Amino acid sequence: MTFTAPTVEAVEAAIDIPKDHWAHQCHSVSLAIVRSGLLPEGARVARGGCRGVGSQHSWAVLGDPYDPEVTVVDATLWSYDTSAPTILMARASDRPHVPHGSGSIWAWGRPPEPVSEVIELAVDPGREASRFLRLASPTGLDQEGWRVLAHAPVGGWPAREIFTAMDATPKLRAMIPIDVLGMVTDVNPKGLYF
């Protein structure tokens, strides 16, 4: 499927926000674009870092936020970097746009062995995820172990399934960074990602 960058006028009409009000409103503008129906199905908001922006930044992606080849639609980068086009459409790796939680868990390391009560997931995360958890910590994970795992990079392990199960477990829900939960799972915390 080929997708052409929307024009400023098309975005203004679709989100009912004039371009003059987009500057430094990266998350709200990106979410409005995703919700407008202007982008293909499966689009969502990503949040992380981008060269030219001095703090965290949000943009829309047409697929998996962690895929370096995913198409980025960034309608506010110009307000941080005047050399950027008004609506940047590029591969995530071009600038790059790097979402929170990027990287490989294999470079991160293991969660610590439990020293307090082991916490079980409230729902079965699936066979592959259960196998990974046994590999990561054969004796289970306590609160600190789950916290460390929740902040690990999402590449190289079944983060989607495990974070979904953690979100369904009241004792673990708050440990997952909201941006990572909204980007790696189908959970849409506070409606901020799709």
Kindly report each contact of residues 85-88 with a partner whose C-beta sits within 8 Å and lies 24 or more positions away, as own/partner. 86/8, 86/19, 87/5, 87/6, 87/7, 87/8, 87/11
- Per residue, the 3-state secondary structure of 151-190, as one string, reads CCCCECCCHHHHHHHHHCCCCCHHHCCHHHHHHHCCCCHH
| Residue 1 clears pLDDT 70, i.e. is over it | no
pLDDT for residue 129: 98
> Residues 124-169: pLDDT tens digits?
999 999 999 999 999 999 999 999 999 999 999 999 999 999 999 9
Q: Characterize the bridge pairing of strands 88-91 and 97-99.
A: unpaired
Is the CB of residue 30 less than 8 Å from the CB of residue 76?
Answer: yes
Compute CA distances 93 → 138, 173, 189, whole Å: 36, 31, 26
pTM score: 0.94
pLDDT for residue 3: 86
pLDDT for residue 47: 98
φ, ψ of residue 69 to 5 degrees: the values are -95, 0
